[in-house]
Structure 1
Amino acid sequence: MFINFWYVAGRAEEFTETPLKRRMLGQDFVLFRDADGVARVLANTCTHRGGSLAGGKVKGRCIECPYHGWQFDGDGHCRRIPSLGPDAKIPARTRVDAYPTDERYGLVFAFLGDLPEAERPPIMPIAEYGPDGPLPGWAATIQDFEWDFDYRRSIENGIDPAHNEYVHPTHGFSGENPDYRMPAPKLEHSEWGTGFWACRLAPALAEEKMRAASGRDEPAVIEAGTGHEGVSSVWTFIHPTPEMHIHQYLYETPIDASHTHLYLVNLRNFLTDPADDERVMYRNEVVATQDRDVLLDLRPVETPEDNHHEFFVGADEPIAAYRRRLKEWEARGWRIDVDAVERNRKRVAYAIPCPARRRQKGWVLDPVPLMPGDPAASAGQPETAADSA
């Protein structure tokens, strides 16, 4: 798991005046909406005696700890310590980590890391969204799932061009097409991601109304593209016909090393009546569940540290490219030392370091231990699919 990326903390409607505890990156956070309507995300551990802030109450712009009534504002500063009296000067060291938030697409993203604003990786954008919602001609649905797998395995599955033929009967022919082959795709690289486009033979759409909207009942060659943005976001564009577009944006938030919360924003430019949302979401869940069932049985459970114990072929080049990116971000010192966290779990309350730690010294909670970075590292990166083949 990595710090210094934006992660979905929850749906916008989950942020209310009732605090909510949420686990991300192996740590607990408190989510709430303050009196100004701003979505807030703070480390959940009170710096006094370790109380759970999520068990407390929202008091105006602050969250109040249920243990001794200490209050923290949305920026993490302690504003009230009742036992010291109303005129007490609050020591700066009492603050908790507070994280930048960005509310868009019906979701609230939290930047879980300490980078200053100018250096942060971007949130994967949704071009079909405007400030007031989906652009004209588009309809959107949002679904979320909590499943028991390593998010990296899920990202790799999302950018795997060959799995559709066997995992999704509605997307491929279950190996019955004698002419099937999936060559290495031509990858396109950006600063924070890698993707590709390809054409493939696909069956007619399974759902009756969607099939009618496509205007075809027979298999046809369709255009589709996919790629990852950052450490845990995937875009997938499927064009069943030149005019019929399905654009999906999947934001994955690691709960811990082996559990993941997935948020799927699905855009479509057909069947845009809200009455069709349920049929679209049903199909999405069917496909997502097919992926889940395969991922739950992968071994090892976590994505391997290198490719030497997996035999890659050309179609696996997107996965090899993603793993090379992971090594780059690890070299920057952004990877959490999960084993160290687990060893100290009963003795140490950690926090994901927030940007304020770059400006202010003296914090009660220790930051999560990180794997040692090596900016010069290049040797030992995962081999390409061609190397493995």
Structure 2
Amino acid sequence: MYINFWYPVCLSDEINEGSKKATILGMDFVAFRDHEGVAHCLSNVCVHRGGSLANGICHEDGTIACPYHGWRYNGQGKCTKIPSLGPDAKIPNRAKVDSYPVIERYNIVFAFLGDLPEDERPSLYEIEEYEAEGWRANQTTIIDIDYNYERSIENGLDPAHNEFVHPTHGFSGARNDYKVNPTKITKVDRGADFEQLFDAAPPLDEETYGETARKSDGELTVWGGYRGPNTLITQIHTKKDSNWFHQYFFEQPINEFKTKIFFVNMRNWLMEENLDEMIMGRNMEVVNQDIEVLDNLRPVLTPPTLTKEIFVPADLIIGEYRSSLEDFTKKGYKIDVKKMKETQHQTAYAIPSPARRKEKSWVLDPVPLVKSK
């Protein structure tokens, strides 16, 4: 798990009436709106005696109060009131929690969980066609899975699994001429894009997809890629100029073994609102086919070296993803999960926020990181 990337925290409407607790990267955060409706994300641990801010009350002055002793924190993480000290009391400089940059897009509250200054941060992935004319988005959907997010990302990048995992995407290896074409990969900042040509894709069910659906076997091109450790892009073009599905998966690693996926599905055909449910149902059928396989992968976590698996040319984009993870480790972004687990019952950690680059005197220790090489 890695700091210094954008992570989905919750859906935007989940904090319209109060706060929302989220566990990300093995640590707890709280999202809430201030009195002007602006979303904020803070480390969830009150620095007084360790109370959970998410269990407290959001006040009209834009603060959130710890339920234990009423300490109030504003959106910048500064404590503004300590009731036991009485009115107009001076607040200690150390009375603050980490506050993280927030962006709301696609009905999702994203937080940048790390301490990089703004000019060094990666951009939140932009879905260019979102709200564009000629495109329709399904309601952003949350998918809960009981396996590691890296396994999930790699599955979405994998061009060879569709033939065998998804009956509507291939022929289960029955064709003697089946072979995965070479993957075209383009490296980008903190990620990579790919282009994959499938020689023989099955026709689409006309009863489900209408008369404009592809009616015969034929070539199918898929574009996709990843950004950072946790954002997956898949763009499926069933015809050359139309009948496109663009899918975006913003993954929230809860811990090493659980993940919450925020799924945005775009399309430029079948635009009627009454088709939303059918299309999402079809998507979830495909997702559940993946889950059935990934639930049973061993080892549960990605092997530490490529020598523990046999890679073939069809795995090239997955190798690129693992190479990116290694680069993030070299930059010092990787959380030392082993050390964190050994000490977590006595130490409350926080992901360091950008303010730690400018301010001193923090109560919570920064999460331990693997030393950069």
- Report the more deviating stretch, 202-211 or 304-313: 202-211
1:96-175 counterparts in 2 under 5 A?
Answer: 96-129=97-130, 134-141=131-138, 142-175=140-173
Task: Give me the whole-angstrom Cα distance separating, in 2, the residues matched to 1:107 and 1:213.
Answer: 32
Q: Quote the residue 1:275 is aligned against.
A: 274
Q: Quote the residue 2:338 is aligned against.
A: 339
- Report the more deviating stretch, 198-207 or 245-254: 198-207
SS in 2 for 1:58: coil
Task: Give me the whole-angstrom Cα distance separating, in 2, the residues matched to 1:117 and 1:231.
Answer: 19
1:308 offset after TM fit, Å?
Answer: 0.4
Q: Quote the residue 1:2 is aligned against.
A: 2
1:175 offset after TM fit, Å?
Answer: 1.0
Q: Quote the residue 1:381 is aligned against.
A: none
Q: Quote the residue 1:73 is aligned against.
A: 74
SS in 2 for 1:31: strand
Task: Give me the whole-angstrom Cα distance separating, in 1, the residues matched to 2:219 and 2:226.
Answer: 24
Task: Give me the whole-angstrom Cα distance separating, in 2, the residues matched to 1:32 and 1:208.
Answer: 44
1:258 offset after TM fit, Å?
Answer: 1.0
Task: Tell me if the contact between 2:336 and 2:368 (Cα under 8 Å) persists in the aligned partners.
Answer: yes
1:209 offset after TM fit, Å?
Answer: 3.1
Task: Tell me if the contact between 2:10 and 2:20 (Cα under 8 Å) persists in the aligned partners.
Answer: no
1:183 offset after TM fit, Å?
Answer: 3.6
Sequence identity percentage: 48
Code of the aligned partner of 2:112: F
Q: Quote the residue 1:361 is aligned against.
A: 360
Task: Tell me if the contact between 1:145 and 1:263 (Cα under 8 Å) persists in the aligned partners.
Answer: yes
Task: Tell me if the contact between 2:183 and 2:316 (Cα under 8 Å) persists in the aligned partners.
Answer: yes
Task: Give me the whole-angstrom Cα distance separating, in 2, the residues matched to 1:150 and 1:47.
Answer: 30
Task: Tell me if the contact between 2:137 and 2:267 (Cα under 8 Å) persists in the aligned partners.
Answer: yes
TM-score normalised by L of structure 1: 0.93
Task: Give me the whole-angstrom Cα distance separating, in 2, the residues matched to 1:155 and 1:124.
Answer: 15
TM-score normalised by L of structure 2: 0.97
Task: Tell me if the contact between 1:251 and 1:264 (Cα under 8 Å) persists in the aligned partners.
Answer: yes
**1:45-101 per-position Cα deviation (integer Å, ceiling 9, x unaligned):** 100000011111001210001100000000100000001111111111110011110
Moved over 6 A (4+): none
- Report the more deviating stretch, 272-281 or 10-19: 10-19
1:54-73 counterparts in 2 under 5 A?
Answer: 54-60=54-60, 61-73=62-74
Q: Quote the residue 1:26 is aligned against.
A: 26
Q: Quote the residue 1:380 is aligned against.
A: none
Query: What do you get for the CA RMSD once the two structures are aligned?
Result: 1.1
Q: Quote the residue 1:43 is aligned against.
A: 43
Q: 2:215 aligns with which of 217, 236, 245?
A: 217
Matched, 1:195 2:190: no
1:236-385 counterparts in 2 under 5 A?
Answer: 236-242=234-240, 243-374=242-373
Code of the aligned partner of 2:268: N
1:316 offset after TM fit, Å?
Answer: 0.5
**1:17-47 per-position Cα deviation (integer Å, ceiling 9, x unaligned):** 4222110010011111111101111111100
Task: Give me the whole-angstrom Cα distance separating, in 1, the residues matched to 2:17 and 2:40.
Answer: 11
Task: Give me the whole-angstrom Cα distance separating, in 1, the residues matched to 2:56 and 2:98.
Answer: 17
Code of the aligned partner of 2:299: P
Task: Give me the whole-angstrom Cα distance separating, in 1, the residues matched to 2:252 and 2:221.
Answer: 28
1:207 offset after TM fit, Å?
Answer: 6.8
**1:106-147 per-position Cα deviation (integer Å, ceiling 9, x unaligned):** 111100001001101111110102xxxx11111001211111
Task: Give me the whole-angstrom Cα distance separating, in 1, the residues matched to 2:182 and 2:265.
Answer: 27
Task: Tell me if the contact between 1:159 and 1:319 (Cα under 8 Å) persists in the aligned partners.
Answer: yes
Q: Quote the residue 2:83 is aligned against.
A: 82
Q: Label 1:159 to 1:211 Cα distance change in 2 as closer, same or farther (>3 A).
A: farther
Task: Give me the whole-angstrom Cα distance separating, in 2, the residues matched to 1:146 and 1:197.
Answer: 28
| Structure 2 gap ranges (5+) | none
Q: Quote the residue 1:378 is aligned against.
A: none
Task: Give me the whole-angstrom Cα distance separating, in 1, the residues matched to 2:125 and 2:176.
Answer: 38
Q: Quote the residue 1:230 is aligned against.
A: 228
Task: Tell me if the contact between 2:3 and 2:334 (Cα under 8 Å) persists in the aligned partners.
Answer: yes
| Structure 1 gap ranges (5+) | 375-389
Code of the aligned partner of 1:90: I
SS in 1 for 2:224: strand
